[in-house]
Structure 1
Amino acid sequence: MSIEISKEFIEKIQLLVENQENKTILESLNDEHHADIAEVLDVLNLEEATYIIKLLDSEKTSEILMELDEDIREKVLENLSAKEIAEEVSEMETDDAADMIAELSEERQERVINAIQNEDLAADIKELMTYEENSAGSLMAKELVKVYATWTVAGCLRKIRAQAKNVSRVHSIYVVDKQEKLIGRLSLKDLITAKSEEKIADIYISNVDSVHVNDDDEEVAKVMAKYDLEAIPVVDDYNTLLGRITIDDIVDVLKEEADKDYQLAAGITQEVEADDSIWELTRARLPWLILGLFGGLGSVFIMEGYEEIMANPKFAKLFFFTPLIAAMAGNVGVQSSAIIVQGLANDNVKGSLFNRLLKEVGLSLINGFVLGILVVIAGFFMKMEVNFSLTIAISMMSVIIVAALIGTFVPIILNKRGIDPAIATGPFITTSNDIFGIFLFFFIAKLMLGF
C-alpha cells in the first residue's frame, strides 16, 4: 500500500522527528515502498531527511537514496560519514553503488571505498567507475547468474542457488567457457526439465544478444527495445562476460534523453531544473535567446529593404501579413523537424535522401495548396484584390516548401555530423524559417505585384 502524501502526513512526520519518536517513525515508514518514502523525504528539510535516513536500516535506505532527487541526495550524503555511506552502498547493486559514490568528491570517494568491508564489492565499484559516462560499462551491474558449459545440470542448480542470493532479479542465466567468454544463455525451462547428469553444453542456447562495454547507452536502449529484452549481457573486445544491464537502467536513460531533447527543442542548451539558480537558468537559456535576437534583427533588415512599400497605400497592407507568413514557416519547420528527430532517435529514418526530398516536397505542395485556397477564400470575404490574395497564397506555399525542407534536412545533416539533432528544433528552426519566410514573401510579392 502506498503512502498518501498529504500536508497532514508530512506535518505528522515532522512532529515525530522533532520529538524523536523513533518507534512511531519506524512503524509509519518501515512497511512502505522505498519510492514513497523517498517522495516524503524530498518534501522534508535536510535535517529531517537525514534523521530518517540514519534511523532506518541500510537495506531500506540504500533503495531510498537512489530514489531521492539528485540535489537532495547530494546534500544528505554530505551529512553522512564515509562509514555510513559505505554501509548504504554495501546494500546496493554495484551499478547503483558506483553511481552514488561518483557523486562524491574524489577524496570522499576514496574514503568510502576504503570503508567497504567486502573487498570484492569495492573492486567491482572501482571497475565500474573507470568506464566512460553514458557507456554500457557505466550502466552495467556486476551481479548476474552465470554457469559454465562443463557443469552438469545438478551441479548447475546448486551453483545458481548460491549466486541468486546476490541478484535482486534473475532475468537470464548466462553460459561461459573456461576463459569466461560468453557463449550462450540458458533457458530455465530447459534447465529444470533436463536430466541431472546432462551437461549444460548440451542444453544451452548459443544465440545470445550482447553489447560491448564501450557502446553508447542510447545504442544499448535501441537494442533492448528492438529485441524486447529485460536484461542484456555486457562483454569486452574478447567477448568476456563483464556484467549485465537491466531494463530499469534503460528506462532511466530514455527518460534523461527525453528530458534533454525536450529542453534542447525548447532552446535550452544544458540540462536544468526549475529549482536551479538564476545564473544556471540564464546560462542555459540565453544563447538561444541571443540567436533569436539576431534572427529577429535579420528579419528587420530584410523588411527595411522593402520599406518603399510602406509609402505606397496599395501595397502597405502586405506588412500586416508578415506575422502570418512567419508563423506558418515556423510551424511547418518545427513539425517537420520533430518527426525527423523522433525518427532519428528511434532509428527509423532510413532510405534515400532523394526519396525523402520528393516526399517532403509533395507533402508541402498539398499542405500549401490547401492553405493557399483558404487564404484566397479569406481574401474574398475581406474584399482583397484577387492578385493580392494570390500573392499571399503563392508566397505561403513557397514558404511552406522551404520550411519543410529546412526542418527535414537540418536534423539529418546534424545527425550525420555527430551533433544531437534535437538542437535543430525550437529556436533554431523557427528563427531560420522566419528569416527565409519573410524574404520569400517580399521577394515573390515584388515579382507578382511589381512594386
Structure 2
Amino acid sequence: MVQPRKSRLLHDTIRRYLRRQAWSHLDKLIAKTRVEDLAAVMAAMAERDRVAIFGRLEDNADRANLICAMSPPFGKTVLDPLPADKVVGILREMAQDDMADILADLEPELAARVLEILEESDEVEDLMAYGDDTAGGIMLPEFVAIDADQTAEEALIALRESGEDVEMVYYIYAVNEHGHLVGVLSLRKLVVAPAHKRIREIMETDVISVSTETDQERVAHMVAEYDLLAIPVVDDANKLLGLVTVDDVIDVLQEEAEEDFRKMAGAGEYVPAEASVFRHVAIRFPWLLASAAGGLIAAAVMGNYEETLEAQSFLALFLPVILGMSGNVGTQSATVTVRGIAMGHIHHGERAWATVRKEIGISISMGALYGSAIGVIAYLTGDQPHYGPAIGLSIAAGMIIASTIGTVIPILLSRLNIDPAVATGPIVTTSVDFFGVMTYFGIATYLAVAMGATV
C-alpha cells in the first residue's frame, strides 16, 4: 500500500494524464504501479475515469487482478460491455471463487454465454449456488488432497504435479478412498518427514473444518482463533470440497467491520459513491425516521415539565450537554458491545453480563467525574442552589443509564437472533433521549421541591 502523500500524488498524476489524454505517459505510469495501489487510488475516481484506466490495460492477468482488487460493481461495469470471449479471457486469470463472484454480478445473458465457453463452468456454477456470505461462497475449490496411505515421497511428487493448478498451498489434506477428510499436515512437516513414512503416521487427525453453509464471519473467527492459514470446507458427509484461505478471511473481516459500522451509523448497505441522491436517501431515511420518532417522544416527555421550564429556564441551557454526554456514552458502549459480539469476544451467559457490569462501572466513574465538574459550573453560574446538584446528578445518572442501555440492548438483540448492528442505533438513541429527559427533569423537580424553590 502506498503512503497517503504518494497516493495523492499518484491520484493527481493519473487524473492529469486522463484529462490531457496523455496516453503514453498514463500507460507507463500504470505499468510501474502495483495493481493494489492502482485500485486504491481508482476508488476515489469517477466511474468514467475508472473505466478509462481499465481500458488501458492490455494483459488479461492485470485486468483480472484489478477487478478482484476493486469493490463491486466495478467488475460488472467494465465486463458487461465486452463480448463473451473477451470476458472469458479475463475470468480465466482469476481464482474460481473470484470468478463465481464476478459472474453472479454480470447480466444474466452474458453470464450464460460465458459459462458455455468456460471449461470450468461446472465448478464455477457449483460455487455460484452457495450463498455469498457462506464458506461455500468464498472457498477455493482447488486444493492439494492426498491419500492417507501414500508415503511422504509419493505425496511430494503429487504436490509437484499439481503445483500449477493450485493457487495456495499452506497445508496438505489427507483423504480416504471416498474423498472424506481424515487428516492434515503442514507443508513443512511433509518436506522434513522421512520418505518412507505413511501420511497417516505423521498427519493430525483432529482437523478443524467448516461446512459450506457456515457463515463467513464465523469462518473468519475460527481462522483467527486457531491461528490457521487456511481452513477446509466439507459437506455433510465430511467430503473435502475446498478451502478458505487467510487472504479471503482478511477481506471478510474488513467487509463485516465496514458493514457493522454502516448499519450502526444508519447508512445501511454499501452504496457506490456515484449512486443517485435518491438511492442514498432511500438507504438512510428509515434510520433517520426512527431517530425523529425518538426525538418526538422526548419532546412529548418535556411537555409534561413545561411549568418547570418556565419557572427555571436555566435548566434548559444544560439539556444539550446532558443529552449529548449521555448519547456519546451510549454510542461508545453500543459500539464496543456490537464489535465484541461480532468478533466472538462476547457470548451469551455469564461473560455477557460481566461486560454489562464492566461498562456500568466505567460509566459510574465517568459520571462522577463529569457530573462533579459540570455540576460545579452550574452551581457557580446559576441563581438557584439546587441547579448544581440537579445538573451534576442528572449527568451522572444519564451516563449510567446510557451505558447500561448501550450494552444490554445489543446482547438482548443477539440472543433474539436479531443483528445488533441494525437495530442498536435507533433503539439506543431513542431510549437514551427518553430516559435522559425524564431523569433530568425528575431530579431537578425533586431537588427544587426539597430546597423550597419555585417549580
**Change beyond 3 A, Cα 1:70–1:360:** closer
Deviation per CA, 1:182-240: give whole Å up to 9, x if none.
11112333323333333222222223221111100000010011112121111111111
The question of whether the paired residues in 2 share the 8 Å contact of 1:102 and 1:109 is answered with: yes
The question of whether the paired residues in 2 share the 8 Å contact of 1:136 and 1:220 is answered with: yes
Cα distance in 1, alignment partners of residues 38 and 60 from structure 2:
14
The question of whether the paired residues in 1 share the 8 Å contact of 2:308 and 2:445 is answered with: no
Look up the match of 1:258: 257
Gaps of 5+ in 1: none
Look up the match of 1:126: 125
Report the TM-score when normalising by structure 1: 0.89
**Change beyond 3 A, Cα 1:394–1:46:** closer
Q: What is the CA distance between 1:10 and its match in structure 2? A: 4.8
Q: How does 1:283-432 map to 2 (within 5 A)?
A: 283-312=282-311, 315-350=312-347, 351-352=349-350, 355-382=354-381, 384-432=383-431
The question of whether the paired residues in 2 share the 8 Å contact of 1:153 and 1:195 is answered with: yes
Cα distance in 1, alignment partners of residues 157 and 193 from structure 2:
14
Report the residue type matching 1:33 in the other structure: R
- 1:205 aligns to 2:209 (yes or no): no
Gaps of 5+ in 2: 450-454
Report the residue type matching 2:247 in the other structure: D
Cα distance in 1, alignment partners of residues 368 and 354 from structure 2:
21
Q: What is the CA distance between 1:6 and its match in structure 2? A: 4.9
**Aligned partner of residue 275 in structure 2, secondary structure:** coil
Look up the match of 2:452: none
Cα distance in 1, alignment partners of residues 204 and 145 from structure 2:
13
Q: What is the CA distance between 1:31 and its match in structure 2? A: 5.9
Q: What is the CA distance between 1:16 and its match in structure 2? A: 7.0
The question of whether the paired residues in 2 share the 8 Å contact of 1:338 and 1:425 is answered with: no
Report the residue type matching 1:272 in the other structure: V
Report the residue type matching 1:228 in the other structure: D
Q: 2:56 aligns with which of 47, 52, 59?
A: 52
Give the number of equivalent residue pairs. 440
Cα distance in 1, alignment partners of residues 310 and 52 from structure 2:
70
Q: 2:102 aligns with which of 100, 103, 128?
A: 100
Cα distance in 2, alignment partners of residues 369 and 45 from structure 1:
55
Deviation per CA, 1:121-144: give whole Å up to 9, x if none.
221101101111200000101111
Report the residue type matching 2:34 in the other structure: H
Aligned CA RMSD, in angstroms, stands at: 2.6
Cα distance in 1, alignment partners of residues 216 and 97 from structure 2:
14
**Change beyond 3 A, Cα 1:97–1:311:** closer
Cα distance in 1, alignment partners of residues 54 and 398 from structure 2:
58
The question of whether the paired residues in 1 share the 8 Å contact of 2:295 and 2:430 is answered with: yes
Report the residue type matching 2:304 in the other structure: G
**Aligned partner of residue 274 in structure 1, secondary structure:** coil
- 1:114 aligns to 2:116 (yes or no): yes
Report the residue type matching 2:187 in the other structure: L
Look up the match of 1:147: 146
Q: 1:5 aligns with which of 6, 10, 21?
A: 10
**Aligned partner of residue 391 in structure 1, secondary structure:** helix
- 1:62 aligns to 2:64 (yes or no): yes
The question of whether the paired residues in 1 share the 8 Å contact of 2:269 and 2:283 is answered with: yes
The question of whether the paired residues in 1 share the 8 Å contact of 2:298 and 2:437 is answered with: yes
**Aligned partner of residue 367 in structure 2, secondary structure:** helix
**Change beyond 3 A, Cα 1:50–1:364:** closer
The question of whether the paired residues in 1 share the 8 Å contact of 2:67 and 2:74 is answered with: no
Q: What is the CA distance between 1:17 and its match in structure 2? A: 7.6
Identity across the alignment (%): 32
**Change beyond 3 A, Cα 1:447–1:7:** closer
**Change beyond 3 A, Cα 1:48–1:138:** same
**Aligned partner of residue 386 in structure 1, secondary structure:** coil
Report the residue type matching 2:324 in the other structure: A
**Aligned partner of residue 175 in structure 1, secondary structure:** strand
Report the TM-score when normalising by structure 2: 0.88
Cα distance in 2, alignment partners of residues 394 and 377 from structure 1:
11
Deviates more, 1:300-309 or 1:353-362: 353-362
The question of whether the paired residues in 1 share the 8 Å contact of 2:14 and 2:26 is answered with: no
